[in-house]
Amino acid sequence: MKKRKSDDTLIRMANQIATYFDSQKRQDAREGTADHINGSWTPNMRMRLINMINAGDADIGSTVVAAEALIRRPAERPTHEEGGL
Amino acid sequence: MRNFIIPDVPPEFADVRDFGTPPQKTTETVTLTIDGYEVTVPAGTSVMRAAVEADIMIPKLCSTDSLEAIGSCRVCLVEIDGRKGAPASCTTPVESGMVVHTQSDLVNQLRKGVMELYVSDHPRDLLTSPTNGLNLIQEVSAAVGLREVRYGKGANHVIDRVDDGEANPLYRNTDASNPYFSFDPTLCILCFLCQRACDDIQGTFALTFEGRGFDMAMVPGQDQPFFESDCVSCGACVQVCPTGSLLEKSVAEMGTPERSVLTTCAYCGVGCQFEAQMRGDKLVRMIPYKHGKANHGHSCVKGRFAYGYANHVDRILKPMVREKITDPWREVEWDEAIGYAAKRLKEIQKKHGTDSVGVITSSRCTNEETYLVQKMARQILRTNNTDTCGRVCHSPTGYGMNTTLGTSAGTNDFDSIEFTDVAMMIGCNPTDAHPVFGSRLRARLREGMKLIVIDPRRTDLLNTPHIGENIHLATKPGTNVAILSAIAHVIVTEGLTDQEYIHSQCDVDAWNGYVEFISDPRHSPEAVEATTQVPANLVRDAARLYASAGNGATYHGLGVTEHEQGSTAVMCIANLAMMTGNLGRPGAGMNPLRGQNNVQGSCDMGSFPNEMPGYRHISDPETRAIFEKAWGVPLPEEPGLRIPNMFDAAIDGEFMGFYIEGEDLMQSDPDTSHVAAALEAMECVIVHDLFLNETAMYAHVFLPGSTFLEKDGTFTNSERRINRVRKVTEPKNGYADWEITQMLANALGGDWNYTHPSQIMDEVALTTPSFAGVTFDLIDQLGSVQWPCNEDAPEGTPVMHVNQIKRGKGLFIDTEYVASDEKTGPRFPLLLTTGRILYQYNVGAQTRRTENEAWHSEDVLEIHPHDAEERGIAAGDTVRIASRTGETTLHAYITDRVAVGVVYTTFHHPGSQANVVTTDSTDWATNCPEYKVTAVQVSRTNAPSDWQQHMKDTAEATRKILVAE
């Protein structure tokens, strides 16, 4: 499928999140990244990211790829808690 | 202007008497006798104030309780047993056992003599003067029984020509140069109140007294008209003027007001309370309320004067619909407009799915309005696609503070500044964007409070007259995390931390890890100097000052949040506050200055797509259960779209229906052409606003809104203070905004029956623990209340984290600097950063429709002389500013306030539309756009950009209205 402009945006957002969690030494970067995405991305945005990871998109950073299994699939019950925007 | 009755407010808050001199803060008391009555007052109180406490009004002209007395008018004289002569009661402090007589033959004779002198050089034909009824000269003459003036014709300031027809050299014409008030020197009694208000309250020092003796005159600046002087039109001088020499033009036009309604300003996050002074149902003037806890009787030009937009000819008062955005608008009745909007939203959901529609509120809406809009999305449309413009300003504050401290709440109230020894202002510009707090900061700076400013631009706070120790760290835009981490590095490596606080209040494991992280030499000021462009020694000085000066408070604005690393920068600030123990007490704290009037409230009310009211995540089953019980439906549990995600989804054909209340996305959101493409792609855009704003070009339904003067509700300011907004006139459009949302919700299938916004707040209280104690009654009773307000804090919470950090233990976060993706290069060698100006507000929808345009009728581009010279740009030249995203044109303003390599503009005007240039880059955590860093090139030009021409054409084509017969 042809990549949309918003796909690039999703990848950039995911990579930015991973960059932050990569710098957190006291937290697992994969969990941090996945938690953050689970807590603030719509199911559709998450599925699109998962699909792009599985399609091997070269722009996606290694932490995001490693976090793939922890990103919640839309049908699952949410467990993440995050607050305070 | 006394003895006004303020509805709904109990007597202790309705006391707007002028006590003559300021209150004393001591608890020590003194008892004395005045006219036979025993009075007990705080030590240091003036005799005049003590008399007012006993309901004895001593005549006065030159004193007021917002300013220290100087005893110049000699009208308030009294006799005191055992003292010679007749001292001025305003400058005489009370003493224990003092026996005061406010009436005696001696003082009567003296007062009468003084008044006779005043009247001898004062206009006598006051019956038709606009000041009639407001002029204390009349009132005091009556009070002292002045019945004749023995002085004949002679030198005076009152008559323009002397007897032989020659011009009177002492006469000065009325200065009407200010759009909002006039100055009639003939009525001036040289009491110095105006000058003292300008200096001591406002801090502008625009007024002076020229000449000596009989030649003396009050003059603005260097004897200039007001408009050309340094005057910022705050209105403080007008407010204290005892004679009406300085007078609102609206009073001159409409007559004196006869009643007041207490309400809250709809501009900026300071949240000033005002008396809306009325004659019938017409607003005569806005006077800042002396008991307003955020403003204490002060105001700025916007709140005080810029309310004319409410009656502006551009206001749309009838609902309108159209099939396509290329059709002209058709005026319809409310029923039809609401029905049409509901039908189209339902059709879209049927065709594209439940989550193909969404809502947005503005921070200009009341709490009750925003609560209803998110409720409509969740309960009726069954989607979490709800967001608010807080997304694009302070969402990183919420994320960063919540992560480190356990709550997004700003920590302290504004009054806390009285106890601050050093204020660190980061990416905020309070004298322009939060002017009333800016004035308080300036007052504290004159008293010796120290100042650190971290900002790419030299903000006006640094130009405060009589400023003491101050440091400006002029950062390169986009390097906040680097500089704040460098400050932390100095504090940690030089041993300036508060170990006791850290070990009792913070997560010690995290602290130990953080110490290792931040101590690394890569964070030192010397190592980051090339990145931040700030000399390392200045950073070290600033760090030492913040950590060791006593109470250190930070204030931050959008210059912190609106970056790719906005959330990380907020966590840097929290780290600094925790490591120096600057939390949980007056004078310290971490204080976000929210941009608009109700940024705080609109976020509190559950407007975010992943949070219910009170910042509870939608995935939390307990929270959902509370609302499912209250609203009677199962609630969607997946996060919805945030504003930038909505635009992307619209372009992808997945987000097709949009209800937008009070927000002009086209002008306020970055990358305008992207926003335009998104809106154009949608099937139904419903704009609910006062004016046909830029977003309305793409709308299919227009629902006319009401102004803050036309509805009830609450706004929550930057200090979490919930203030009442009270209706002063009927909505010109027919309905208050909460009623319009309710009509739409019911047309979509809801069964809402709110009859007053207080019932909406009751529902918030019922469902939200931090608001559990909030009711309109409580707010009326206390004047205002700061959340959390519940069983633990029945009267609210002025200072957060007092005994314990809300999170339990404060969490230090490693804050690695990551350079913004937006980098300068050969094509775009300059960095654009954006901000605000005093006279305009946000996208200017309101202020552009007032006389404030006289000060700022266009956005200009600030550019350093070096960069201008290199490009052959002279002051006032039309210049093209281009980024990777787009280009626009504006006029150049050459100034060294910005550094070499940095340009600056405001975004108040749609004609220049700075956001055509800004990019779609956002904060990593919250998607808050990076408005503050855009790589650009600037060059001379002589024509508007293609975008500007296109928008001008589109605006004309899409704003046509077919008027209903």
Written in H, E and C, the secondary structure of B200-250 is: HHHCCCCEEEECCHHHCEEEECCCCCHHHCCCCCCCHHHHHCCCCCEEEHH
Q: Strand B470-473 to strand B450-454: parallel, antiparallel, or no bridges (unpaired)? A: parallel
Task: Label residue B304 left, alpha or beta by phi (over 0 means left) and psi (-120 to 50 means alpha).
Answer: alpha
Residues of A in contact with B651 (CB under 8 A): 5-6
Residues of B in contact with A41 (CB under 8 A): 639
Structure tokens at B434: 């939060």
- pLDDT at residue A84, as a whole number: 35
**B716, B394 Cβ separation under 8 angstroms:** no
**β-sheet with B701-704: strand ranges across:** B386-388, B357-361, B657-661, B684-689, B701-704, B320-321, B329-331, B961-962
Q: What is the ipTM of this complex?
A: 0.90
Residues of A in contact with B564 (CB under 8 A): 16
Question: How far is the alpha carbon of B856 from chain A, nearest alpha carbon, in Å?
Answer: 33
**B360, B661 Cβ separation under 8 angstroms:** yes
| Cβ pair A19:B818 closer than 8 A | yes
Compute the average pLDDT of residues B691-716.
95
List residues of A whose CB lies inside 8 A of any B CB: 4-6, 9, 12-13, 16-17, 19-20, 23-26, 36, 39-45, 74, 77-85
Residues with Cβ within 8 Å of B41's Cβ and at least 6 positions away in sequence, in order, are B24, B29, B30, B32, B49, B50, B53, B94
- pLDDT at residue B3, as a whole number: 34
User: Which stretches of B265-421 are assigned E, i.e. beta strand?
Assistant: 273-279, 282-288, 320-321, 329-331, 357-361, 386-388
Question: How far is the alpha carbon of A15 from chain B, nearest alpha carbon, in Å?
Answer: 9
Residues of A in contact with B402 (CB under 8 A): 83-85
Over the stretch B535-562, which tens digit does the pLDDT of each residue have? Answer: 999 999 999 999 999 999 999 999 999 9
Residues of A in contact with B519 (CB under 8 A): none
- pLDDT at residue B439, as a whole number: 97
- pLDDT at residue B2, as a whole number: 36
Q: Which residue of B has its CA nearest to A22?
A: B816
Least CB–CB distance from A85: residue in B398, B510, B651: B398
Q: At B680, is the secondary structure helix, strand, or coil?
A: helix
B802 CB within 8 Å of a chain A CB: no
Local confidence band at B573 (pLDDT 50, 70, 90 cut-offs): very high
Question: How far is the alpha carbon of B408 from chain A, nearest alpha carbon, in Å?
Answer: 5
The alpha carbons of chain B give a radius of gyration, in whole angstroms, of 29
- In order, the DSSP letters of B31-44 are EEEETTEEEEEETT
Question: Residue B7 above 90 pLDDT?
Answer: no
- pLDDT at residue B5, as a whole number: 37
Half-sphere exposure of B387 (CA within 13 A, CB side): 27
Over the stretch B455-468, which tens digit does the pLDDT of each residue have? Answer: 999 999 999 999 99
Structure tokens at B66: 């917002």
- pLDDT at residue B211, as a whole number: 93
pTM, 2 dp: 0.94
What residues form DSSP beta bridges with B714? B724
**A70, A29 Cβ separation under 8 angstroms:** no
Length of chain A: 85
Q: What is the Cα–Cα distance from B772 to B876, expressed in whole angstroms?
A: 55
Structure tokens at B776: 């309109």
Least CB–CB distance from A25: residue in B398, B517, B920: B517
CB atoms under 10 Å from CB of A9, counted, come to: 19
Q: At B126, is the secondary structure helix, strand, or coil?
A: helix
Least CB–CB distance from A26: residue in B401, B513, B645: B513
Give percent above pLDDT 90 in chain B: 88
CB atoms under 10 Å from CB of B466, counted, come to: 12
Among B836, B832, B834, B816, which Cα is nearest to B824's? B832
- pLDDT at residue B842, as a whole number: 87
Q: What is the Cα–Cα distance from B229 to B173, expressed in whole angstroms?
A: 17
Q: What is the Cα–Cα distance from B560 to B394, expressed in whole angstroms?
A: 9
Q: Which residue of B has its CA nearest to A4?
A: B652
Residues with Cβ within 8 Å of B30's Cβ and at least 6 positions away in sequence, in order, are B40, B41, B42, B43, B45, B94, B95, B96
Q: Helix and strand tally (H, E) in chain B?
A: 30, 35
B150-154: which pairs have CB atoms within 8 A and are 24 or more residues apart?
A: B150/B116, B151/B116, B151/B117, B151/B120
Local confidence band at B767 (pLDDT 50, 70, 90 cut-offs): very high
Q: At B882, is the secondary structure helix, strand, or coil?
A: strand
Over the stretch B915-965, which tens digit does the pLDDT of each residue have? Answer: 889 888 899 999 999 989 999 999 999 888 888 888 888 888 888 888 765
Q: What is the Cα–Cα distance from B483 to B461, expressed in whole angstroms?
A: 20
Q: What is the Cα–Cα distance from B945 to B893, expressed in whole angstroms?
A: 19
Q: What is the Cα–Cα distance from A45 to A39, expressed in whole angstroms?
A: 12
A19: part of which helix (H) or strand (E)?
helix A5-22
Question: Residue B12 above 80 pLDDT?
Answer: no
Residues of B in contact with A1 (CB under 8 A): none
Phi, psi for residue B349 in degrees, rounded to 5: -60, -35
Over the stretch B377-416, which tens digit does the pLDDT of each residue have? Answer: 999 999 999 999 888 889 999 999 999 999 999 999 999 9
B788 CB within 8 Å of a chain A CB: no
A-B C-beta contacts closer than 8 Å: 99
Question: How far apart, in Å, are the Cα atoms of B34 and each of B17, B101, B327?
Answer: 19, 6, 76
Mean pLDDT of chain B: 94
- pLDDT at residue A83, as a whole number: 37
Residues with Cβ within 8 Å of B358's Cβ and at least 6 positions away in sequence, in order, are B377, B381, B383, B385, B386, B387, B640, B641, B646, B655, B657, B658, B659
Q: Determine the angle formed by the axes of helices B525-532 and B480-493, rounding to 10 degrees.
A: 170
- pLDDT at residue B14, as a whole number: 60
Q: What is the Cα–Cα distance from B456 to B479, expressed in whole angstroms?
A: 10
The position carrying tokens 């010279």 is: B869
Compute the average pLDDT of residues B84-104.
96
Compute the average pLDDT of residues B565-572.
96
Q: What is the Cα–Cα distance from B353 to B656, expressed in whole angstroms?
A: 10
| Cβ pair B395:A39 closer than 8 A | no
| Cβ pair B651:A6 closer than 8 A | yes
Structure tokens at B336: 């039809």
The C-alpha angle with vertex B727 and arms to B722 and B728, in degrees rounded to 5, equals 125
Among B541, B520, B539, which Cα is nearest to B529's? B539
Least CB–CB distance from B619: residue in A19, A20, A80: A80
CB atoms under 10 Å from CB of B807, counted, come to: 18
**B662, B691 Cβ separation under 8 angstroms:** no
Question: How far is the alpha carbon of B790 from chain A, nearest alpha carbon, in Å?
Answer: 19
B395 CB within 8 Å of a chain A CB: yes
Q: In this structure, is the dihedral angle defined by the CA atoms of residues B664, B668, B671 and B673, taken in order, positive or negative?
A: positive
Amino acid at A3: K
Residues of A in contact with B922 (CB under 8 A): 13
- In order, the DSSP letters of B101-124 are ES--HHHHHHHHHHHHHHHHTS-S
B926 CB within 8 Å of a chain A CB: yes
Mean pLDDT of chain A: 87
Structure tokens at B799: 């200072």
CB atoms under 10 Å from CB of B504, counted, come to: 13
Half-sphere exposure of A77 (CA within 13 A, CB side): 3
Q: Which residue of A has its CA nearest to B384?
A: A42
- pLDDT at residue B944, as a whole number: 87
| Cβ pair B611:A85 closer than 8 A | yes
Over the stretch B837-853, which tens digit does the pLDDT of each residue have? Answer: 999 998 888 999 999 99
Structure tokens at B690: 């006062």
Residues of B in contact with A3 (CB under 8 A): none
- pLDDT at residue B164, as a whole number: 81
B509 CB within 8 Å of a chain A CB: yes
- pLDDT at residue B696, as a whole number: 94
Q: Which of residues 333-362 of B touch A (CB under 8 A)?
A: 355
Residues of A in contact with B652 (CB under 8 A): 4, 6
Among B376, B292, B382, B309, which Cα is nearest to B338's? B376
Q: Which of residues 654-673 of B touch A (CB under 8 A)?
A: 654
Least CB–CB distance from B620: residue in A5, A24, A81: A81
Residues of B in contact with A39 (CB under 8 A): 610, 617, 619, 639
Q: What is the Cα–Cα distance from B260 to B379, expressed in whole angstroms?
A: 39
- pLDDT at residue B958, as a whole number: 85
Question: How far is the alpha carbon of A61 from chain B, nearest alpha carbon, in Å?
Answer: 14
Q: At B139, is the secondary structure helix, strand, or coil?
A: helix
Question: How far is the alpha carbon of A27 from chain B, nearest alpha carbon, in Å?
Answer: 10
**B385, B646 Cβ separation under 8 angstroms:** yes
When scoring B507, B602, B610 by the number of chain A Cβ atoms within 10 A, the one with the most, hence best to mutate, is B610
Q: Which residue of B has its CA nearest to A14?
A: B924
Q: Which residue of A has its CA nearest to B402?
A: A84
Question: Residue B1 above 70 pLDDT?
Answer: no
Half-sphere exposure of B860 (CA within 13 A, CB side): 15
Q: What is the Cα–Cα distance from B346 to B343, expressed in whole angstroms?
A: 5
Local confidence band at B8 (pLDDT 50, 70, 90 cut-offs): very low
Q: Which residue of A has its CA nearest to B650?
A: A6
